[in-house]
Every structure is written in C-alpha cells, then in structure tokens.
C-alpha cells in the first residue's frame, strides 16, 4: 500500500512540474484583431512598443539620430507583425532596421523576442546579450533573456540559475513590473525552488491585478500560481 501511495505521489509531482507557461515577453494588451494596419510608408501606428513595458517613460534620451529616424518606420512595422505573431516577417524587418541603425536597442529587443518565439535560441541569446551590454540599466532585454533561459524548449539553452540572476537584476531596476516577477517565478520553478516560485508568482499576480489587465491575461498569472502551488505541495509530501 505504501509503495502504491508513493507512486501516486510521484505521479502527481511529475504532473505538477511541467514547465513552460504563457509568455512574459510582450506587455501590450491590445488584442491583435484591434491593432491598426501599417500606416503609409510601412510604419505601424500606435503602441507597437517593445517587450515587457510599453508604458514606462523612456530614460533621458538625446535627440533622435538620423539613423534612428530612418530605421523607425521599419522598426514599428516589425513590432506590428510581432504582435500579430508574424515572427518570420518581423525578423526580416528588425534585421532591416538594424542595417540602418546598427545600435538600435529596440530593434535588438524585437529581434531577440521574435527569435525566442521561433525557438531560434542561439540567435536570440546573441542579440539580447548585445542589447544588455549596450545598456545594463534597461531591464527589458534582461527580463527576456531570463525568460529564454527559464523556458527554452531546447534543453541545451535551459539555465535556471542564469535565469534567476538575470531576473533578479531586472527586478532591481523595475521592482513593480509584474512581467519581471513572473519571469523570476518561472526561473525559480525550473530550478526546483517551488516555494520561492509560488511566492514570486503570487506577487506577479497581485501586480497584474493592480494593473487592471483584461481577465484573460490575469488568468495566465493565476495559472502560474496554481502550477507553482501544486509543485510546492507535491514536493513537500515527498520530503
């Protein structure tokens, strides 16, 4: 009887410890069906913003360079296609923007995030690391790189401890961003730190609710809490 009970507990634990939650890469909550089409000349109008936090005011910025201005229409069209899930086209556009403005961090961010969606993890890692090195105070590429290491389907790119370190660094810059808390929860989860994952996911959920997200988005964070809770409870029985 004990053996059967132990087996069922292990089965429950295994079911609870299945990883890969809904993404924490894009923060614009406008449904794709409601997005405006690209404007004349190829630019996307309205909020085709970067990953994670489109609403935060940019840090002190200098005048837009001619290269950045030239790349802007292509860049915005790239974000437009990325938000629609057309990542192959988005990659082409982000690469085009980088040809015009090689140090454009928004283009790097968009490119890296579309590479993640396409499971092109080596390329995503390279471009996001480049964005991080250009500005260590920009938490968005830190967060997306952490998400890659926490959730990559290719096990060669899974690195829970690296994901925790990057998410911690992002959290020090943006302590009120629910995306970063959710990424950290996923990093703890894949590293087997289920109690920490649960507490961190609960904070992500609290912040997501406070941000008045649509119910469908809030449900993603509720599901993450339940998954972390189930894993924590299963492991506590095994211990």
What residues contact residue 138 under an 8 Å CB cut-off, 6+ apart?
A: 105, 131, 132, 173
Domain spans in the chain, listed from the N-terminal domain onward:
64-135, 156-239
- Which one, of 23, 21, 25, 2, lies nearest residue 231 by Cα? 21
Which tokens belong to 59?
């840090």
Tell me the average confidence (pLDDT) per consecutive run of 10 residues in the chain, 239 residues long: 38 35 43 34 27 37 83 96 96 98 96 96 98 95 96 96 98 97 97 97 97 95 97 90
Check residue 238 and give its pLDDT: 84
Check residue 62 and give its pLDDT: 57
Q: Do 64-135 and 156-239 come out as alike in CATH topology? A: yes
**CATH H-level, domain 64-135: superfamily:** Tetratricopeptide repeat domain (1.25.40.10)
d(CA 1, CA 7): 10
DSSP-based three-state secondary structure for 44: strand
Check residue 155 and give its pLDDT: 95
Pick the CATH number of 156-239 from 3.40.640.10, 2.40.50.140, 1.25.40.10, 1.10.3720.10: 1.25.40.10
- Which one, of 151, 69, 70, 68, lies nearest residue 105 by Cα? 68
| Element of type H or E holding 125 | helix 121-134
């Amino acid at each position: 009887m004990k053996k059967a009970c132990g087996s069922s507990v292990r089965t429950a634990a295994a079911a609870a410890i299945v990883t890969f939650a809904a993404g924490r890469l894009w923060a614009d909550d406008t449904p794709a069906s409601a997005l405006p089409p690209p404007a004349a000349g190829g630019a996307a109008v309205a909020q085709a913003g970067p990953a994670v936090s489109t609403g935060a005011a940019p840090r002190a910025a200098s005048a837009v360079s001619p290269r950045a201005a030239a790349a802007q229409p292509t860049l915005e069209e790239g974000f437009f296609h990325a938000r629609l899930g057309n990542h192959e086209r988005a990659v082409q556009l982000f690469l085009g923007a980088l040809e015009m403005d090689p140090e454009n961090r928004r283009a790097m961010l968009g490119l890296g995030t579309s590479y993640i969606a396409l499971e092109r993890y080596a390329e995503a890692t390279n471009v996001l690391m480049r964005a991080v090195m250009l500005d260590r105070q920009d938490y968005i590429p830190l967060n997306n790189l952490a998400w890659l290491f926490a959730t990559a389907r290719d096990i060669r790119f899974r690195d829970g401890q690296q994901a925790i370190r990057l998410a911690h660094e992002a959290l020090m810059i943006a302590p009120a961003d629910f995306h970063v808390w959710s990424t950290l929860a996923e990093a703890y989860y894949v590293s087997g730190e289920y109690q920490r994952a649960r507490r961190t996911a609960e904070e992500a959920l609290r912040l997501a609710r406070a941000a008045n997200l649509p119910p469908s988005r809030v449900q993603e964070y509720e599901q993450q809490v339940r998954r972390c809770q189930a894993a924590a409870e299963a492991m506590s029985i095994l211990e």
